[in-house]
Amino acid sequence: MKMKFFPERDYNLQYRFKRERAVKYLTVNTKHSGSLVSGITPKSFIGKVDNQGFRLISSTPGIGAFCVLTGTFHTDSCKVNAQVNKPFKILAGIITLMMFATIIMQLITKPGWKNMGLIIPLSMFFFGGSWYLKWTFKRSLHLSINKLNEILIFQQ
């Protein structure tokens, strides 16, 4: 098992009705957009839907754009992959690199135990940020999967 900094989940969801009806319902409830950018809309999702699959974010302001749902339609099921949206990955990566650069600069400029006053809070911030990233993903994923289930009505 390899360790991942950014969480990811896979689902295999069974339809309660035919594939064509599921594609139609999802298309009707999606604001079509080439970019996965959050915005205010009465629709449940923002993104792209076609006969083969979809790439969506939730339209819920604030947390909806954090999780991207990418799915493929099959005859009796839908395979869904959920992962952190790319802009959030880039932002978290930049913040992490800045923390590591600060620690390295601190070690270079002040060798010894005098620099522990900065390293300990930065490492706590790093692990706290990692926990917050996973918690936010889990919350956004739960919201998005529930919305997808309301539209497509999957079997449990």
The tens digit of pLDDT for each residue in 57-101 reads 888 887 888 899 999 988 888 899 999 999 888 988 898 888 888
Q: What residues have CB less than 8 Å from 58, skipping those under 6 apart? A: 44, 45, 46, 64, 65, 67, 140, 143, 144, 147
The tens digit of pLDDT for each residue in 110-142 reads 776 666 677 777 777 778 888 888 888 899 999
pLDDT band for 1, please (50, 70, 90 cuts).
very low
User: Measured between alpha carbons, how far is 106 from 124 in angstroms, rounded to an integer?
Assistant: 16
The tens digit of pLDDT for each residue in 19-31 reads 888 888 889 999 9
